[in-house]
A and B are shown apart, each in its own frame.
Chain A
Amino acid sequence: MILDGKCPTGPIEKSWDKHRFDLKLVNPSNKRKYNIIMVGTGLAGAAAAASLGELGYNVQAFCYQDSPRRAHSIAAQGGINAAKNYPSDGDSILRLMYDTIKGGDFRAREADVWRLSQVSNNIIDQCVAQGVPFARDYAGYLDNRSFGGAQVSRTFYSRGLTGQQLLLGAYSALSRQIKAGTVTMHTRREMLDLVVVDGVAKGITVRNLVSGELESYAADAVCLATGGYVNVFYLSTNAKGCSVTANWKAAKKGAFFANPCYTQIHPTCIPQAGEYQSKLTLMSESLRNDGRIWVPKKKEDVGKLPAEIADADRDYYLERKYPSFGNLAPRDISSRSAKEACDAGLGVGPGGRGVYLDFADSIKRLSEDTIRERYGNLFEMYEKITDENGYKRPMRIYPAPHYAMGGLWVDYNLMSNIPGLFVLGEANFSVHGANRLGASALMQGLSDGYFVIPYTIGGYLVTVKPGAVTADHPEFKKSVDDVKATNNKFLSINGKKTVTEFHRELGKVMWNNVGMARSKESLTEAIKVIPQIRDEFWKNVKVSGTGAELNQQLENAGRVADFLEFGELLARDAMHREESCGGHFRVEHQLPDGEAMRNDADFSYVGAWEYKGNDKEPELHKEPLKFETIHLAVRSYK
C-alpha cells in the first residue's frame, strides 16, 4: 500500500495556517460531549491533555508512574530549540526547518518539519508564561546556547534541567485542568491493549498497578503519548519503566510502525562500569560546547593518566575530521567516531569503552566558576556515579542508546492509519527523519501537545458521534480477557530465569547486531536469535506472585515480552533499508571516508510495517518523501 501523509499542498510558508483554516471546528458547546483518552503525560501528553481540557473536551489521562510529573521528559537536560533569532545570528523558521531536515538526513516530511519550526516560537512564549525559569542574561533577556548540528545559537535552557522545568510547566497546566475537572488523571495505570471497534480506535484496557485490576475505558478518540522504545537495548538513557508496550499493542491491532530502525545513540553518556548495571546516564551534549573530545594517539598511552599525555599525543578527532563543526558535529557522527576510536584500541577506562571530554582549555579561558555555572549539575552527577572530579581530570564518555526517531506512523494530523488513534511526541515517527538534532525532541513534544493536536483532533471529532461506543461493548470484555490470559500465562510458566535476564540477553543482541553499525550478517544473526530468546522466554521465565496485587515482575514481564517481538521488527527494518542514513548505519553502505551513504533513488520513503502475526513476516508499506523546499543533498558537516 502507498501511504498518504495528507500533507497540505501549496507554498510551505502558508501550509500550516491554511490547514488550520481548512480544519472543521467542533462547536464549543459540543466539546464537553466528547471523551478523549490520553495515554502518557510526559511533555507531549501533559501539554495535550491540559490544552484539550481547557478547550472543553473531557479528557481521561493515564501514566504508569505515581504522578504525571515523573515522566521521563523530566530527565532532558540540555535545552529546547526555537527559531526566535533573539541573538540575530541569522536564524529563521526556514533555517530551523533546513537544519532539521538535513540533520534527519532527508528522511522526514517537509510539511511536518515546517510546522514544527513555525510553532517553536510559540512554545517558548507559552513556557515563559507558565513560569518556566529559563536562563536569562544580566539585562533580563532570554539566554541561548548552541547545540549539535546547528551554526546558530537557538537553544533555550534552564541550567541542565530544561526537561524538568518544561515538564513541570506542562504538569502545572495539567494540574490546573485536573482541579477544574476537565481532565481526570489516572496514575499508576499501564495501558495493555487498544480497543478497536469496527476498525476505529474506541478505548483502552489498562492494569491498575496497585490493585492489579484490569479496567476498560471508552472514548471518541485515543491518543498515545507514551515516549520512546530504546530500552529494547536494555541499557539506555531511558527510565526503567519506558517501554514499547503501548505502541506495540496498537501495532498488533493494526497501527503501522514506521522506521523502527532509526534509533539514536547519544555520544555523551557515562560509560558502563559493570555487568550488573541497570541503566546508563546521559550528560547533556551541551557539554560539547565547552568540552574537547579526544583519545590518545598511541595505544600504549591508553592506560596512562590523562594529564601524563602531552597535547601532541592526543587526537582531537572530531576537530580533525569535521573542522567547521568540530566537537559539535551531529550525534550519529560523534557516536560512530567514538566507537571507531575505541574499536581501534584507543578507548580509555574500564574495558577500553570511553573517550575523554576535556574541560581544561575552557576552564583556562573562562574560569572554573563559569563552567560550574553552566554545567554544575552535570559535573556533580558525573562525580556521584564515577567518583571522579570532572574539573580536575577529563570526563570519560561513551555512546548509549538514547532516542527513538521511529514510532507509530501518523499523517499530518498526527492520526495513525487506525481512525481515531492519534500519536504524539517521541511515540510517533514524524519530524526527525533518520536522526534527531539535539534540543528538538522537547520542541516536538510540546509542539504536538500544545499547538498541533488541539486543532487536528477537532477535524476528526466532527466526523464522529460522541459516545457512540461505551465500555460495555463486547470488544472491551474480549480485550480484558486477552490481557488476563497473557498475564496468567506469565504467572504459570514458573521457569528458571528472571525477566531481567531475558531483557539483558535481548539487549546484548540488539547492541551488538543492531546498534551503531549494522551489517547484513549481524542483522541476519539478530533475526535468527531474537525469536529463539523469545521462545525460551515463554517456556522458562519466572514470574512469581499473583496478578491481583502490586507485582513489578509481572509489569516487567509484559514489557520485555513486547520488546522481544518488537526487537525483531527493528532488525528487519534495518535489514531492508539497504542504505546508511542518520542513526541507521549499514557498514556495506559508506563513502570511502567512512561517512554514511544514502540511497535516495531507492529509499527516499517512510517504511511503515504492518503486523501480520508473531511468526509471520510483517508487511511493508511505503510513504514516498518529496523534497520541494529543501533540496536533497549529501549531508556534510566538514
Chain B
Amino acid sequence: MSDHKTMTLTLIVWRQKNANDPGKFATYTATNITEHHSFLEMLDCVNEDLILAGKEPIVFDHDCREGICGMCSQVINGAPHGGQDRTTVCQLHMRKFKDGDTIYIEPWRARAFPIIRDLIVDRAALDTIIQAGGYTSCHTGGVPDGNAVLIPKPIAEEATDAAECIGCGACVAGCPNGAAMLFTGAKVSQLALLPQGKAEAVARVKNMTAAMAECGFGNCSNHYECQAACPKGINVKFIARMNREFLKAQFA
C-alpha cells in the first residue's frame, strides 16, 4: 500500500565468500521499506540495489517463503529466525521493526553446520540423522489397509505435533552446545508414538543418537533454548521422550 510510511534501516550482515574465508560484518542501508514487506522482501530490495550498484548481493537460503520448507535460516539480532513466536524468517514482517533500527543478520552458527557462503550453511548432517533410522522399513506395496490398525486421536495428534518439524536447524543454532536433540527427539517421538514405528523403536533411537554424535552435534544440558528458537513450537517434552526411549533401548 503506497499510503504507508516507509522505514530506513541499518543492516549489519555477515559476509563470507566461501568456507575458507574468515568472513566479516558489512553495513548496508535498507530504504523505502514498508511494514508489509516480509524480512526477505526487505533483503530482496537491498540486493536489487547492490546488484545495480555492481556489488555482490547478500546470499541467503530461502524457497517456499511461507514457513514450511525449512530452507530460510538467519540469526537476527542474536535470535534464530528473529525470535518472533512460531515464525520463520520468511514469515517475519517488517512491522516488527521501527524506522531507524539497526539489525544484525548472521548465519546459523554450529560446529555441525559449516558456512557455505554469507548466510548459507550446510545442513546435510540433519539428513544424515534421518538416514540413520528416521523411517519405518515398509516396502512400497504390500502394506495393510490404512484402517487395519486404529490409532486413537490423541496419539495421532501428539505424533503430528512432533511431525511438524521443518528441519530448519534453528534449534541447533539456538543451543549453546549446538545439539540436535529437539530435531532428533521430534522424529524419534513421532515414530515411537505410532504403532507403525514401534517394531524398530529400539534400533532407531540407538542409531539416530549415534549419528547425532558422529555428525558433530553437541550434548544437551537442558537449556531449552531450542524450544524458544523453534518456529514450529516443537516441545522439549519430545527430548524427554527420546531419552526415555533411549533408556528403554539399553535394556532391550
Chain A residues in the interface with B (C-beta under 8 A): 47, 50-51, 54, 65-72, 74-75, 84, 86, 122, 124-131, 133-142, 158-159, 161, 164-165, 168, 171-173, 175-176, 178-179, 185, 187, 210, 239-241, 273-274, 276-279, 281, 350, 380-381, 384-385, 387, 450-451, 454, 496, 498, 500-501, 542, 544-545, 549-550, 552-553
Residue of A nearest to B64 (CB): A239
Using CB atoms and an 8 Å cutoff, list the residues of chain B in contact with chain A. Answer: 1-2, 17-18, 34, 36-38, 40-41, 44-45, 48, 51-52, 54-57, 59, 61-71, 86-87, 91, 93, 95, 116-117, 120, 122-124, 126-127, 130-132, 134-141, 143-147, 149-153, 156, 159-160, 163-164, 166-167, 190-191, 194, 196-197
Q: How far is the CB of B86 from chain A (nearest CB, A)?
A: 7
B141 touches A126 (CB 8 A): yes
Q: Give the shortest distance, in Å, between B83 (CB) and chain A (any CB).
A: 14
Min CB distance A56 to B, Å, is: 12
Task: Output the nearest chain A residue to B132 by Cβ-Cβ distance.
Answer: A179
How many angstroms between the C-alpha atoms of A72 and B164 in the bound complex?
A: 16
Q: What residues of A have a CB within 8 angstroms of the CB of B67 in the complex?
A: 381, 384
Task: Choose among A84, A159, A498, A500 the residue that contacts B160 (Cβ–Cβ < 8 A).
Answer: A159
Known: A69-B70, A274-B1, A385-B93. A128 touches B196 (CB 8 A): yes
Distance between B114 CB and nearest chain A CB, rounded to angstroms: 11
List 4 A-B pairs, minimum CB-CB distance, nearest first: A140-B150, A172-B135, A129-B143, A129-B138
| Residue numbers in B under 8 Å from A142 (CB-CB) | 146-147
B52 engages A173 (CB within 8 Å): no
Most chain B beta carbons < 10 A, residue from A65, A84, A138: A65
Q: Tell which of B86, B145, B156 touches A133, judged by Cβ atoms closer than 8 Å.
A: B156
In the complex the two chains form, is B56's CB within 8 Å of A451's CB? no
Interchain pairs with CB closer than 8 A, number: 218
A500 to B49, CA, bound (A): 12
Residue in chain A with minimal CB distance to B1 = A350
Q: How far is the CB of A48 from chain B (nearest CB, A)?
A: 10
Q: Is the CB of B57 within 8 A of A66?
A: no
Interface of B is mostly: loop
Tell which of B56, B61, B120 touches A545, judged by Cβ atoms closer than 8 Å: B56
Residue pair B141, A75 in contact (C-beta under 8 Å): no
Q: Are B62 and A240 in contact (CB under 8 A)?
A: yes
Q: Are A176 and B137 in contact (CB under 8 A)?
A: yes
Q: How far is the CA of A72 from the CA of B66 in the complex (A)?
A: 11
- Residues of A with C-beta under 8 A to B137: 176
- A524, chain B: closest CB distance, angstroms: 32
**CB distance A130 to B138 under 8 Å?**
yes
> Known contacts A175-B134, A210-B116, A274-B37; can you find 16 more A-B pairs with CB under 8 A?
A72-B69, A74-B70, A74-B166, A125-B145, A125-B146, A126-B138, A126-B141, A126-B143, A128-B146, A133-B163, A141-B147, A141-B150, A164-B164, A240-B62, A451-B140, A544-B54
Is the CB–CB distance between B66 and A279 below 8 Å? yes
A423 to chain B, nearest CB (A): 20
B residues in contact with A173, CB < 8 Å: 135, 138, 140
Please, which residue of chain B has its CB at the minimum distance from the CB of A282? B66
Q: Are A136 and B167 in contact (CB under 8 A)?
A: no
**B93 A384 Cβ-Cβ under 8 A:** yes
Measured CB to CB, the closest approach of chain B to A498, in angstroms, equals 5
